[in-house]
Amino acid sequence: MPMKTPRFIQIYQDNAQVVQQELVQGLASNPAHGGATTSPKFLYDALGSRLFEAITELPEYYPTRTEAAIFRTHGDAMARQMPKGATLIDLGAGNCGKAASLFDRFAPARYVAVDISVDFLRGALECLQRQYPALDMVGVGLDFSRTLELPPEAGANDGSPRLLFYPGSSIGNFTPDEALVFLRQAHAACGPVPGSGLLIGVDLVKDTAELEAAYDDALGVTAAFNRNLLLHINRLAGSDFALADWSHVALYNTAHSRIEMHLQSRRAVTVTWPGGHRAFVAGERMHTENSYKWTVEGFADLLQQAGFATPSVWTDAQTTGQGRFAVLWAPAQTP
């Protein structure tokens, strides 16, 4: 059988001016309004995506390993609930490795990989197509924090059920209110075909020391990932952040059940960009990422508020007794 070629639909890069405006607005926010902030999506340029891949191999970073173990242990049970001949839509696909590890069990009819980090996604998808030459593959460069409207090439109206896949606890980057909005959009994106639904990985509330180590590893890879954001912003917004002026901070905010990543200025600095500037005092922080931790009950409730049916849940508690991470299958309609 001849090898198929992945198709690419690039939506995100069309909005370069909007991206610049969003960045500058977050950078200019003053301390009375919570201080400078940037969206975690800006952590992912091609280098950011590679650094994230390295993070997943660190001894301190338990989420990827724990989630993979849940798929290994419970993959067959999951597969029995998944729709057959589905369009598998991987939200924030990264290197596409997690979805690919499920192809044999889930046997999708088409694979749609969605990511904001377009160059990295292209490389990953072209490589994956060589391993699965007969599978129809589509790459979509999309910022789904703006909209989860997928292009028709992602299988709309072809009559196949949709299996939305959102692993890695990326949902934790949204506040609970934003997560509900996102899940409502995911529910709509499942479409009307029976059997469609969302398979999602969620990181669970746990001990502060384990959480903080996972986001501030001894090798400093997470620090590099966070600081690389400045190089990415300099390219997107034309700013002049100097790497040497900023250090990585990760702390668990117990009141909000979230890990916060910040960049903290090592001295007083003024950062400029075309048409604006922002002074930071020594020690001032710029908030770069939240990673909310959930309870299984709280997240199952959120899914149902978003319109999904009662989810099936698998956690590592079933094998290790620890309950660090959960994978939930939420059918779009009550079966």
Ligand X SMILES: C[S@@+](CC[C@H](N)C(=O)[O-])C[C@H]1O[C@@H](n2cnc3c(N)ncnc32)[C@H](O)[C@@H]1O
143 binds ligand X (CB under 6 A): yes
Bridge pairing between strands 197-203 and 246-253:
unpaired
**Given the complex with ligand X, which of 92 and 197 has the nearer CB atom?**
92
> 3-class secondary structure for 300-333?
HHHHHHCCCCCCEEEECHHHHCCCCEEEEEEECC
- 65 near 54, Cβ under 8 Å? no
Query: Rounded to the nearest whole angstrom, what is the least distance from the CB of residue 290 to ligand X in the complex?
Result: 12
Residue of 117, 257, 288, 290 interacting with ligand X (CB under 6 A)? 117
Residue of 94, 108, 155, 191 interacting with ligand X (CB under 6 A)? 94
Two tokens, residue 249? 């901070």
197 binds ligand X (CB under 6 A): no
Helix (H, G, I), strand (E, B) or coil at 200: strand
Helix (H, G, I), strand (E, B) or coil at 265: strand
44 binds ligand X (CB under 6 A): yes
**Given the complex with ligand X, which of 145 and 185 has the nearer CB atom?**
145
Query: Rounded to the nearest whole angstrom, what is the least distance from the CB of residue 12 to ligand X in the complex?
Result: 7
Choices 48-56, 178-186, 202-210, 218-226; region in contact with ligand X by CB under 6 A: 48-56
144 binds ligand X (CB under 6 A): yes
222 binds ligand X (CB under 6 A): no
49 binds ligand X (CB under 6 A): yes
Residue of 139, 161, 168, 195 interacting with ligand X (CB under 6 A)? 168
139 binds ligand X (CB under 6 A): no
**Given the complex with ligand X, which of 203 and 280 has the nearer CB atom?**
203
32 CB neighbour count, 10 Å cutoff: 6
**Given the complex with ligand X, which of 48 and 191 has the nearer CB atom?**
48
How many whole angstroms separate alpha carbon 225 and alpha carbon 219?
12
- 238 near 273, Cβ under 8 Å? yes
Query: Rounded to the nearest whole angstrom, what is the least distance from the CB of residue 300 to ligand X in the complex?
Result: 20
- Angstrom CA distances, 177 to 25, 58, 172, stand at 21, 31, 11
Amino acid present at 316? D
- 280 near 270, Cβ under 8 Å? yes
Within residues 10-39, the interface with ligand X by CB under 6 A covers none
Angle between helix 16-28 and helix 221-237 axes, rounded to 10 deg: 120
Choices 18-26, 113-121, 310-318, 321-329; region in contact with ligand X by CB under 6 A: 113-121
52 binds ligand X (CB under 6 A): yes
Choices 141-149, 229-237, 260-268, 305-313; region in contact with ligand X by CB under 6 A: 141-149
Question: What backbone phi and psi angles, to 5 degrees, belong to 22?
Answer: -65, -40
**Given the complex with ligand X, which of 115 and 217 has the nearer CB atom?**
115
**Given the complex with ligand X, which of 197 and 265 has the nearer CB atom?**
197
Within residues 53-82, the interface with ligand X by CB under 6 A covers 56, 64
CA 168 to centroid of chain Cα atoms? 7
Instruction: Classify residue 202 by its DSSP letter.
Output: E
Q: Strand ranges (DSSP E) for the chain? A: 7-10, 87-91, 110-115, 136-141, 162-166, 197-203, 246-253, 258-265, 269-273, 276-280, 285-292, 312-315, 325-331
Choices 41-49, 68-76, 296-304, 307-315; region in contact with ligand X by CB under 6 A: 41-49
Q: Name which of 212, 203, 215 is nearest 166 in CA terms.
A: 203
Question: What backbone phi and psi angles, to 5 degrees, belong to 237?
Answer: -110, -5
41 binds ligand X (CB under 6 A): yes
List residues binding ligand X (CB under 6 A).
41, 44, 49, 52, 56, 64, 92-94, 98, 115-117, 142-145, 167-168, 170
